[in-house]
Homo-oligomer: A and B are copies of this chain.
Amino acid sequence: MILEAAILKVKPESSSDFESGFRGASRLLAEAPGYIGHELHKCVERADQYLLLVRWNSISDPIAGFRKSEAYRTWQELLSPWCETETSGEHYVEIRT
């Protein structure tokens, strides 16, 4: 299992529109091959910052799959009016602790 983590910076005063837009766009993510689940979190300290966590079956699902798909281009187009950063992030494997 791979965790993708992205810090999303939204334009000032755009939080509400971004959250509505994200709800509409999130089905594109949920339909991607290898998608397990996602969480969107809003930062307490920085009003315009979000943390998107997406769980995938394997590293190839987001990198060779979703990011190269037509669905990803649509996803970016839907969110770009409010986002100041790319909506894809870094990838992690869990360490047992």
Q: Which residues of A contact B (CB under 8 A)?
A: 2-3, 5, 19, 22-23, 26, 38-46, 49-51, 53, 59, 90-95, 97
Contacts and interface: CB of A to CB of B under 8 A. Distances in A.
A59 B94 CA distance: 24
A95 B3 contact: no
Contact of A92 (B3, B43, B92): B43
- Of listed A39, A49, A59, A92, residue having the most chain B CB within 10 A: A92
User: How many monomers of this protein are in the complex?
Assistant: 2
Contact of A3 (B51, B59, B93): B51
Q: SS class of chain A's interface: helix, strand, loop or mixed?
A: strand
A79 B91 CA distance: 23
A56 to B, nearest CB: 11
Given A2-B44, A44-B92, A46-B90, 6 more contacts: A3-B51, A5-B5, A5-B51, A19-B97, A44-B59, A44-B93
